[in-house]
Amino acid sequence: MKAALLIALLLLLPFSLAEDSINAKRITDATFHIVKSGTIKVGDSFDSANLTVSVPQKGIQSLKVNAQSWRFINDSNGNRVLLLEWKSRSADVTYEVDMTVKNKAIYTSMKKLGSSDAYLKPNSQITFNDKMRDAAFPYERTMERAAGLAIFVHDYLTYDLSLAGELKPSDWVMENRRGVCVEFANLLSSLLKISGIPTRYAIGYAYSSVENKLVGHTWVEILAEDGTWIPIDPTWNQAGYLDATHVVTAYQQDANQSETFTYTTSGGKSEWQRNDDVLELADYAESDVSHIRIETQSVSAGEKGYMQANITTGTCMIAELRMNACAGEDGSVLDIYDPLKEIFACASREVYWFFNVSENLKPGFAYSCPVTIYSQTGSSAGKTIGISGERKHYETPSISGPGTVFTGEKFSLAADPPDGFIFYNDELGRNAAREWPLSFSRPGDNVFYMYAGGGLDVKTVSASREREFSVSVGMPENASEGNVTISVGVTNVANSSRAAMISVTLGSGSKKQTLAINSGRSAQANFTFALAGGRYPVQVSVAANGIYSYDGMLEVKGNPPENAGDIISSIFAFFESLLRGVFG
């Protein structure tokens, strides 16, 4: 008996963007009530006193100032500040600056980056070291790379409120991997400047998803070729698009924004006591910054499947996208590869998720599995995947090519799927051909997916900066069962001799050999295996200080039976005699 829908078995897993009731990344218009106040404790008296107060650089709708006199001036960085003034006082002075401020989200299209030596210099908070240079390599000057470095910092550091007010320099941050907004901004500034990207700080306020309120905040901006500045907030993982809760009170070269109190007196000491700022998000409007459209297909038990999503947006932005799927009584029905993706998207972007369907489904039953793609800006899209409990025959696509390469090295990945395949990488997108010419400029792991006919192969290619060997792998094109030889050619491209430990695994067999190779010289090792007809995975590794790996697939043809011709002749003879007996 078939059940069309088993609701009790397949339930959508709960998902929440954050614990707070406000998703600040959706806020595109905001109104704030900000009050800055304090007391000047007067000694005997003072002849005159001045106090500078930082204020939002734009969007002030109303301003009430409680001071003897006040006016706007510009500080040394060109920021507009309030100057409060008093004359001849012998009693304590209280002051208050009450503001209503309106702000809008920032939207940025793809732009070329500008140049300015003044915004590339280190300082006491922005330092450079080899570890940072390695992280910033290969020093690309593009919006995509700047966003990629922001994602790196966001994921690399842990948000630690115990460091609030510490202002740790970037070398400390790189080593200790924690901090608050200032530390996040300091490390990103170092990586951007090392890459040749002019960078400045934006200081002010923003809504904190950790503290669930408006707080003091620091982020960075990078210079575009047209003279505009592009916002990047590594703490909250935003670039290009910046939500409307970000209110700027100063732009400068470091995070040390200061308000100053000065006075003249003929006797007695005066002190400034500053109250905590009153920060209120008075009103706001939300909108979908991005839109998601998804497509999928029905699957069966034990099959591999995929979800295709098209993300459209009116800005360049970092999109955090998560695929969330149903679960059964025995656990997950869909085992998703890399459910959370962080991508930089401008205008539109196509993204794929791949998954394994559980084999523990009852034959004869049909299931419905709700699946949803969520964005950190609150956008979402859902589909219901139909799942059959019947197992079927699925394709077994494979990706052949090196598992380790060096930056700048040209190589290819090849696949052997039937038509209707998906050859995909999160950063590079989808490749239409079965062969994919590649070269990586940055070290790191790169994951490739090959989907076809219900089957999936996943391959990771690791790129590194150190190069010891050039390796070639030779496999017979038309192998027949019997002895099959795999040839491994190794050239030492390092500056000194190397002992190359070569390992070849073919099917269930494995063989090893070590070759001593001088710098600039080549050697070859041959590995022979006795194989029957069939399809065999091939894995090759060459190790010394580092490791080079290659994997592929070898097709071995089986030989026909020795007496196949005699058997066929006997069959024909039998039918011939049978017909003669019937027809005479």
pLDDT at 446: 97
Which residue in this structure is represented by tokens 């709700």? 370
Which residue in this structure is represented by tokens 């069959």? 571
Domain boundaries, given as residue ranges, for the chain: 30-104+258-285, 117-242, 288-388, 399-557
Decide: 93 and 49 in contact? Cβ < 8 Å: yes
For the domain 288-388, what is the CATH code? 2.60.40.10
Per CATH, 117-242 and 399-557 having the same topology is answered no
Q: What is the pLDDT of residues 243-299, one digit of tens each?
A: 999 999 999 998 888 899 999 987 788 999 999 999 999 999 999 999 999 999 999
C-alpha pair distances (Å), 103 with each of 204, 221, 244: 12, 17, 6
pLDDT at 17: 39
Q: How far apart are CA 87 and CA 433, in angstroms?
A: 78
pTM: 0.81
Number of Cα atoms under 13 Å in the Cβ half of residue 478:
1
Q: How far apart are CA 296 and CA 26, in angstroms?
A: 27
Q: How far apart are CA 390 and CA 303, in angstroms?
A: 10
Decide: 16 and 324 in contact? Cβ < 8 Å: no
Q: How far apart are CA 12 and CA 333, in angstroms?
A: 10
Q: How many helices (H) and strands (E) does the chain have?
A: 5, 41
User: What does residue 56 show for φ and ψ, rounded to 5 degrees?
Assistant: -55, 140
Decide: 101 and 32 in contact? Cβ < 8 Å: yes
399-557 is a CATH 2.60.40.10 domain: yes
Decide: 381 and 293 in contact? Cβ < 8 Å: yes
pLDDT at 331: 62
Q: How far apart are CA 160 and CA 29, in angstroms?
A: 29
pLDDT at 563: 56
Cβ neighbours of 395 (radius 10 Å) = 19
User: What CATH number matches the domain at 117-242, 3.10.620.30, 3.90.1580.10, 3.30.70.20, 2.170.190.11?
Assistant: 3.10.620.30
Q: How far apart are CA 549 and CA 546, in angstroms?
A: 10
Q: How far apart are CA 567 and CA 440, in angstroms?
A: 57
Among positive and negative, which fits the CA dihedral 253, 255, 256, 260?
positive
Residue 226 DSSP symbol: T
Element (H, E) at 194: helix 181-194
Decide: 385 and 372 in contact? Cβ < 8 Å: no
Q: Which residues of the chain have pLDDT under 50?
A: 1-20, 564, 567-568, 571-572, 574-575, 577-584
Structural fold of domain 30-104+258-285: Immunoglobulin-like (2.60.40)
151: nearest Cα among 233, 255, 229:
233
Name every residue whose Cβ is closer than 8 Å to that of residue 168 and which is 6 or more positions away in sequence: 176, 179, 182, 183, 186
Reading the block at residue 218, the tokens are 């620091």
